[in-house]
Amino acid sequence: MTDWVTTTEAAALLGVNPSRVRQLLLAGRIVGARKAAGTWLIPTPIQVRPSPVFARVPRHADDGSAHH
């Protein structure tokens, strides 16, 4: 059985501000979260999808050589 937490409880578990949790929820980045009667319910353990901005091709450190 899944345990559910609120945005405030999720924020405490993740070590972030509740407003950050709401941002993640609105972006669809918290797996399995749903809204019921105007309240977000977040399943535990909390799984946060990576940001699409950071999920792109990995960058490599510049080795100093020119790439022309």
Q: Which domain holds residue 28?
A: 3-44
Answer yes or no: are the C-beta atoms of 41 and 4 closer than 8 Å.
Answer: yes
Within-domain flag for 33: yes
Answer yes or no: is pLDDT of 65 > 60.
no
Give the three-class secondary structure for 42.
strand
26-39, pLDDT tens digit by residue?
999 999 999 999 99
Within-domain flag for 13: yes
Within-domain flag for 15: yes
Number of structural domains, the chain? 1
Tokens read off for 23: 């941002």
Within-domain flag for 65: no
Residue 5 pairs in a beta bridge with: 42
Per-residue pLDDT band at 64 (split at 50, 70, 90): low
Query: pTM here?
Result: 0.74
Within-domain flag for 29: yes
Within-domain flag for 36: yes
